[in-house]
């Protein structure tokens, strides 16, 4: 590492970069880890960037991947900066000691956003707080939506996930120059970022690259290839072009994003519908990541930190008033959730008995949250030979109706609760002691592999983060999770078939609910 009056200078495999000192840590933003994925590289796996001469300025965030903006209903809660430019495959590094020899633990952050939105430039994800506490923090931009996860007959699948792999390899090969230890990499993600982290953790090509992983509000999973194809075909129909990468590459970028947003508005984490996702590709993702991690040999010794928020579903249902609409729909909404989760009648009946005073929206939301998040994370913890640590974020937002919703915990993880973008979800007066506890747990885990409470065992310890002080509850939601193992369920249809609801009334319920979501998101 060298330094001049403008800031620290570090040499990467493609050229030198100059960062900035901010609040006592060195920050390098917008470092390219791959070439711009446009022109002949569009819809293709990432390629190395062109080397540069001299010292490249790394003082500002690089371009963000093309993405549609959030709807007005969601934009009041979530921030998503857009930075123009083609060189969107870039990353940022925060380090307390920018030079070889420090050998500090490394935390690599993959943002969420349903694989269609988000970026490393969101102020909530300021890695300076981790660097302040002795960790080299790296955040990554990757291709989104149809550019990153479209499924075409004339292009390889999962280019966005391949971007993340390229970034991870860059970190492994380069991070020592920034003060990091390549043998102590913790791969972290939230929501779609956690799904990505799980897929990479299970991938044969990453074995030996990842020492630990944090999965927040997202399990290792793959999407049905037909579901992703339908998303592409619906876009193609709107654009009046063939459903091929060659045809999509010829479409104006803004028009492509508008078509993606229009088709995607009918989808929802609660209700399903068309969506982009990681698919089995026989290469980077040779099979189901959850199965590889629970039944195979993938990352057997890696420590895992896994968590969820108590009321994940409220971010999906509160914006635009969908929560109240689900309550009004009553049995129809419950039938739709049963179809979404392939749940037999005993499962919602069990939820009613466990929560006798809950409204339909709460039952639907918790049922879907358990199906999507808690059940697979419990299953993963049960099956792992390596240590697993589970937690629940339960502090409720100060804003009406949100509770402890999806993404609320991120300002606590990064200790950035004071920035305006965190307050959009948390409101005013978020308790610093909860922030301190959660951030410290991630720091300890990235540093030692132990976040500070008992590892998962037969007693099912779960650390609860709320304003009630430090505590560990044993299986706080075991009763709900157990329903999925003991109650009847409708088998999930084969991957190659079109999913069908267990009964015509459930299929009708799904169509009605999706139309409601689409109307509220216009």
Q: What angle do CA 495, 198, 63 make, to 5 degrees?
A: 105
Residue 496: the pLDDT is 41
For the segment 251-268, the average pLDDT, to the nearest whole number, is 89
pLDDT tens per residue across span 183-203: 999 999 999 999 999 999 999
Catalytic residue among 406, 422, 439, 460: 406
Catalytic residue among 97, 303, 312, 362: 312
d(CA 259, CA 242): 14
Band of pLDDT at residue 497, cut at 50, 70 and 90: very low
Strand ranges in 321-421 using DSSP code E only, listed in sequence order: 388-393
Residue 271: the pLDDT is 66
The yes-or-no verdict on residue 332 having pLDDT over 80 is yes
pLDDT tens per residue across span 408-428: 999 999 999 999 999 999 999
pLDDT tens per residue across span 137-175: 999 999 999 999 999 999 999 999 999 999 999 999 999
**Tokens, residue 250:** 């010829």
pLDDT tens per residue across span 37-52: 999 999 999 999 999 9
The yes-or-no verdict on residue 512 having pLDDT over 70 is no
d(CA 296, CA 318): 39
d(CA 480, CA 502): 21
The yes-or-no verdict on residue 517 having pLDDT over 60 is no
| φ, ψ (nearest 5 deg) of residue 53 | -95, 160
For the segment 327-335, the average pLDDT, to the nearest whole number, is 88
Q: Among this protein's residues, is 421 annotated catalytic?
A: no
**Tokens, residue 384:** 């792992």
d(CA 348, CA 489): 10
Cβ-based neighbour number of residue 39 at 10 Å:
10
Q: What is the pTM of this model?
A: 0.93
The yes-or-no verdict on residue 502 having pLDDT over 60 is no
Q: Are 352 and 363 in contact (CB under 8 A)?
A: yes
The yes-or-no verdict on residue 509 having pLDDT over 60 is no
Residue 30: the pLDDT is 98
Residue 516: the pLDDT is 47
The yes-or-no verdict on residue 22 having pLDDT over 50 is yes
pLDDT tens per residue across span 353-408: 999 989 999 999 999 999 999 999 999 999 998 899 999 999 999 999 999 999 99
For the segment 258-269, the average pLDDT, to the nearest whole number, is 84
Give me the count of residues in the chain. Answer: 522
Q: Are 33 and 90 in contact (CB under 8 A)?
A: yes
In terms of DSSP H, where are the helices of 133-284?
Answer: 145-149, 159-174, 192-202, 225-239, 245-249, 253-264
- C-alpha dist (Å) from residue 6 to 25, 104, 274, 301, 345: 14, 24, 48, 43, 65
| Signed CA dihedral, 419, 425, 428, 431: sign only | negative
Strand ranges in 261-401 using DSSP code E only, listed in sequence order: 303-309, 388-393
The tokens 């993938």 sit on which residue? 298
* DSSP 8-state symbol, 125: G
Q: Among this protein's residues, is 397 annotated catalytic?
A: no
The yes-or-no verdict on residue 320 having pLDDT over 90 is no
pLDDT tens per residue across span 77-106: 999 999 999 999 999 999 999 999 999 999
Band of pLDDT at residue 508, cut at 50, 70 and 90: low
Q: Which residues, at least 6 apart from 272, have a Cβ–Cβ distance to it below 8 Å?
A: 340, 510, 514
Q: Are 461 and 436 in contact (CB under 8 A)?
A: no
Cβ-based neighbour number of residue 312 at 10 Å:
27
**Tokens, residue 42:** 């569009």
Catalytic residue among 120, 191, 223, 268: 191
d(CA 128, CA 225): 39
Which residues, in sequence order, are bridge partners of residue 213? 187, 304
Q: Among this protein's residues, is 406 annotated catalytic?
A: yes
Q: Are 416 and 486 in contact (CB under 8 A)?
A: no
């Amino acid at each position: 590492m060298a330094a001049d009056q403008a800031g620290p200078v570090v040499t990467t495999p493609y050229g030198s970069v100059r960062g900035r000192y901010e609040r006592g840590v060195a920050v390098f933003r917008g470092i390219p880890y791959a070439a711009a994925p446009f022109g002949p590289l569009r819809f293709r796996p990432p390629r190395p960037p062109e080397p540069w001469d001299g010292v490249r300025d790394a003082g500002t965030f690089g371009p963000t991947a093309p993405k549609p903006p959030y709807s007005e209903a969601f934009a009041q809660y979530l921030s998503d900066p857009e930075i123009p430019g083609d060189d969107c495959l870039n990353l940022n590094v925060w380090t307390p000691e920018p030079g070889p020899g420090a050998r500090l633990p490394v935390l690599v952050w993959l943002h969420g956003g349903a694989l269609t939105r988000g970026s490393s430039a969101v102020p909530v994800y300021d890695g300076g707080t981790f660097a302040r506490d002795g960790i080299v923090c790296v955040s990554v931009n990757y291709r989104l939506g149809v550019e990153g996860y479209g499924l075409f007959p004339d292009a390889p699948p999962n280019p966005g996930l391949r971007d993340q792999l390229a970034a991870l390899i860059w970190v492994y090969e380069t991070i020592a120059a920034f003060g990091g230890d390549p043998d102590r990499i913790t791969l972290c993600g939230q929501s779609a970022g956690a799904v990505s982290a799980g897929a990479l953790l299970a991938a044969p090509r990453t074995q030996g690259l990842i020492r630990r992983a944090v999965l927040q509000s997202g399990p290792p999973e793959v999407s049905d290839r037909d579901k992703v194809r339908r998303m592409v075909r619906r876009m193609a129909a709107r654009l009046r072009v063939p459903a091929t990468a060659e045809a999509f590459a010829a479409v104006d970028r803004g028009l492509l994003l508008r078509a993606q947003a229009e088709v995607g508005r009918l989808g929802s984490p609660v209700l399903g519908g068309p969506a982009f996702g990681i698919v089995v590709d026989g290469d980077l993702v040779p099979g189901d990541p959850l199965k590889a991690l629970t039944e195979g040999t993938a990352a057997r010794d890696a420590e895992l930190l896994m968590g969820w928020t108590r009321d994940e579903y409220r971010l999906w249902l509160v914006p635009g008033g969908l929560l109240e609409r689900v309550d009004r729909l009553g049995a129809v909404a419950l039938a739709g959730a049963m179809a979404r989760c392939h749940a037999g009648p005993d499962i919602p009946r069990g939820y009613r008995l466990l929560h006798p005073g809950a409204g339909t929206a709460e039952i639907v939301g918790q049922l879907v949250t358990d199906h999507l998040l808690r059940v697979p994370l419990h299953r993963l913890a049960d099956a792992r030979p390596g240590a697993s640590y589970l937690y629940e974020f339960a502090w409720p937002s100060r804003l009406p109706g949100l509770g402890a919703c999806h993404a609320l915990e991120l300002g606590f993880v990064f200790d950035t609760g004071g920035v305006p973008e965190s307050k959009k979800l948390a409101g005013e007066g978020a308790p610093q002691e909860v922030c301190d506890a959660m951030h410290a747990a991630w720091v300890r885990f990235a540093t030692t592999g132990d976040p500070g409470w008992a590892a998962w065992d037969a007693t099912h310890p779960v650390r609860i983060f709320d304003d009630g002080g430090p505590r560990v509850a044993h299986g706080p939601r075991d009763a709900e999770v157990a329903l999925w193992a003991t109650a009847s369920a409708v088998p999930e249809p084969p991957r190659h078939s079109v999913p069908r609801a267990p009964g015509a009334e459930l299929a009708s319920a799904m169509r009605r609910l999706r139309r409601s979501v689409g109307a509220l998101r216009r």
